[in-house]
Structure 1
Amino acid sequence: MTMTGEDSEIGTDPLEPPLMAPLRRDLNWQQVQSMSQSAGYRDDPVLRSIRATAAIRRGTRMTKVLSPAQVAGHLGGWLPYGFCYRACDIAHLREPQDLALLRTDGASDGQVTFALRWRAVDPLDYEIPAAPSHPGLAALPGHSRVGAMVLGTGFTPSADDLIPEYVTAGFADLPLTANAQILASVPGGDEVILYTYQPEQHGWLRLAGPRWRSLLGEIPGGSPDREYVPCTASGSARLVGRIDDNEYEAVADPPGEFRVRALTRAARYPVQTLSRRAEQARWRGAACWVLQRDETWARLRLLRPDADTISATGARCYERGIYESWAAVDELSDHHIADIGYQI
């Protein structure tokens, strides 16, 4: 017997394979849900096999639930990072109060819940927040974390649902894909597209009609009358493609389009290779992403946060799983540019 997240059309899209479990007389849905919430089942082979069915494909729609403050950050240029979900796994959560439980910064105010939605460029950009990728997350004490605890089973804490969770690989920033969206969920179950990302212009185009303009007023610094919002912050990661011997900044529009970033449509040639480029270093023995720096100081984010690396670096938790710190540039070791290559 097979269990899926919903009985309707979920599972018909090959880019979003359904979560499945072999239900039987001695393993019903309630038992599976209970197993997903128990640390004693972190290494259970049955639960791991169930979790493995929630696969990410190139083009899978990914979602991160946001607070208004986080929306303002993404409008300014933040990239997708940290905890996120496949859109198909949370499609049944329509009311704002249900989705709000998936926020990562601990905020719970307001009657509207916002989200960022984008398409996955490659499965290698995502990891399960559990062993072996992140064995230390579940052991972090409550005083050193923000948001819900990490169970270490690969599922988000919930009394009712079975929702597989992911983190961006090493808590990395991921370049935004073309036509990414910022959404709002309002009471009654409506989902409203507020903005769509335009990579060539490096900004957000407002799509919300007059009926929904008031939602933009809930975003710090948001203006209901502004049709285009340029990203003012430079991202810490970008896509790079090659055509023959030439290198270009690239744009991904999964599942099948990877092109040169260019203002004119005629110049948007398909790239022959594609990679994600970001800056890495080690500080006090911990592997870190270098998010920004000048000649003296660097802002770092831990790739594999655990109690030891947090203690050694004094990193602060800014949202669920995200631990960052400032360090003197001359204290960094193994400082380099990392290229994560994709097969296209």
Structure 2
Amino acid sequence: MTVTGEDSDLGSDPLDPPLMAPLRRDISWQQVQSMSQSVGYRDDPVLRGIRATAAIRRGTRMTKVLSPAQVAGHLGGWLPYGFCYRSCDIAHLREPEQLGLLRTDGATDGQVTFALRWRATDPLDYEVPAAPAHPGLAALPGHSRIGAMVLGTGFTPSTDDLIPEYVTAGFADLPLSANAQILAYVPGGDEVVLYTYQPEQNGWLRLAGPRWRGLLGEIPGGSPDREYVPCTASGSARLVGRIDGSEYEAVADPPGEFRVRALTRAARYPVQTLSRRAEQARWRGAACWVLQRDETWARLRLLRPDADTINSTGARCYERGIYESWAPVDELADHHIAEIAYPI
């Protein structure tokens, strides 16, 4: 994170543009940080201008802080979803207890903190958890949420830092980009890469060396002896691409490579179009993602959770901002495959 004057010209990684604040005599660092934590400044033009500098580009590194149980889920096939951060905005947080405050499931135990890191396929996949995209999040009462409250300013609750937060668009599952990583942060500030994602094989390759393999025992069901962990659950979203009118399952390797998913390297042709597909429906008036379904029941996740839709659907909070419910399939309306096209 970078704080600078209005006229400063910084060189930076174009994929990770810095968060910038126009500090002046009448706007100090303490004032900016205080504004980010106050609901009274949700619509303040100065704070919104600061928040807008924390942009996501194609290829921006994103991070979601995980508990051990969530790591086990992602090793089994979960996709990125919900609250996340640009990696550059939390790079100064290295100790497990610092990063642990950004967990989304309310877990605070353990001396090791885990994280999932991937590259953004497109800025379309991310939203600020505030109005206009999510006006109802900040108004949710404490008894119906897990984790830290949502301030509605676009910044995470913090007494010291200025950390912009994002959510996946509509709290959607996002297909993993190639070479995503599962990380561990240990006391002393070391970052350890435990696994890297292999999209063609749909599994995780262990990278942790002998010194760090004991960390894998912190993960439920984890084993330090397994060099490869296949994803056993099928994700609710997938990438598809076209080449000369023919459709193929696709892999994103941002910022510049989008290819056919194929085990043979010679068959990994670049696609001409790219889009994300997932099931959507409406139930009791609420727009939902369809995560799983059989002939009779469907597991749903609210796209725009607020007090009214949570009450009408009886949705339960599983993580910060994640509200899910089960519904009879024959009660679903406007059940369809949503397709989000990416410009390439």
TM-score range normalised by the length of the shorter chain: over 0.9
Identity %: 90
Equivalent residue of 2:143, what SS?
helix
The separation in 1 between residues aligned to 2:110 and 2:5, in whole angstroms, is 27
Q: Describe the superposition over 1:224-272 as per-residue Cα deviations: whole angstroms up to 9, x where unpaired.
A: 0000000000000000000011000000000000000000000000000
The alignment partner of 2:277 has SS state of: strand
On the 8 A contact 2:181/2:196 being kept in 1, the answer is: yes
The answer to whether the 8 Å contact 1:5/1:89 transfers is no
Instruction: Report the CA distance shift for 1:296/1:157 in structure 2 as closer, same or farther (over 3 A).
Output: same
Q: What CA deviation, in whole Å up to 9, does each residue of 1:52-91 have, x standing for no partner?
A: 0000000000000000000000000000000000000000
CA distance in structure 1 between the partners assigned to 2:51 and 2:8 by the alignment: 20
Report the 3-state secondary structure (helix = DSSP H, G, I; strand = E; otherwise coil) of the residue aligned with 1:279.
strand
Aligned pair in 2 of structure 1 residues 176, 313: CA closer, same or farther (>3 Å)? same
Shift of 1:11: 5.7
2:211 aligns to what SS in structure 1? helix
Take 2:140 and 2:36, find their aligned partners in 1: how far apart are those partners? 19
In structure 2, distance between residues paired with 1:9 and 1:116: 32
Q: For residues 224 and 309 of structure 1, do their structure 2 counterparts lie closer, same or farther at Cα, with a shift above 3 Å needed?
A: same
State the TM-score, normalizing by the size of structure 1. 0.98
Is this contact kept in 1: 2:239–2:251, CA < 8 A?
yes
Asked if the contact 1:296–1:330 (Cα under 8 Å) also holds between the matched residues in 2, the reply is yes
* Distance in structure 1 (CA, Å) of the matches to 2:7 and 2:118: 24
Structure 1 gaps of 5+ residues are none
- 8 Å CA contact 1:11, 1:17 repeated in 2: no
Distance 1:174 1:6, change over 3 A: farther
Distance 1:319 1:6, change over 3 A: farther
Aligned partner of 2:227 in structure 1 is 227
TM-score for both structures, normalised by structure 2: 0.98
Q: How big is each residue's C-alpha offset from its partner over 1:11-59, in whole Å with a ceiling of 9 and x where there is no partner?
A: 6210000000100011010100000000000000000000000000000
Aligned to 1:241: 241
SS at structure 2 position matched to 1:159: coil
Q: 1:79 to 1:10 in 2, by over 3 A?
A: farther
Question: Over residues 134-166 of structure 1, what are the superposed CA-to-partner deviations in whole Å (9 max), with x where a residue is unaligned?
Answer: 000000000000000000000000000000000
Q: Is the 8 A contact 1:291 1:301 kept in 2?
A: yes
* C-alpha distance 95-7 of structure 1, shift in aligned 2 (>3 A): farther
Deviation per CA, 1:263-316, whole angstroms, max 9, x where unpaired? 000000000000000000000000000001001000000000000000000000
Q: CA 1:331 to 1:275, structure 2 compared with 1: closer, same or farther past 3 Å?
A: same
Q: 2:235, 2:337 → 1: CA distance?
A: 14
> How many pairs does the alignment contain?
344
Q: CA deviation at 1:193?
A: 0.2
Equivalent residues of 2:4, 2:23 under 8 A apart: no
Change over 3 Å in CA distance of 1:11–1:123 after alignment to 2 = farther
Gaps of 5+ in 2: none
Describe the shift of the 1:66–1:136 C-alpha distance in structure 2 as closer, same or farther (beyond 3 A). Answer: same
| C-alpha separation in 2, matches of 1:107 and 1:11 | 38
Q: Alpha carbon RMSD of aligned pairs, Å?
A: 2.1
Instruction: Give distance in 1, aligned partners of 2:80 and 2:68.
Output: 15
Say whether the 8 Å CA contact 1:10–1:88 is kept in structure 2.
no
2:2–2:19: 8 Å Cα contact kept in structure 1?
Answer: no
Q: Secondary structure at the match of 1:116?
A: strand
Task: After TM superposition, give the deviation of residue 8 of structure 1 in Å.
Answer: 15
Distance 1:6 1:47, change over 3 A: closer
Name the CA shift for 1:195/1:292 in 2 (closer, same or farther; >3 Å).
same
- Cα drift, residue 197 of structure 1: 0.1
Contact 1:129–1:154 under 8 Å retained in 2: yes
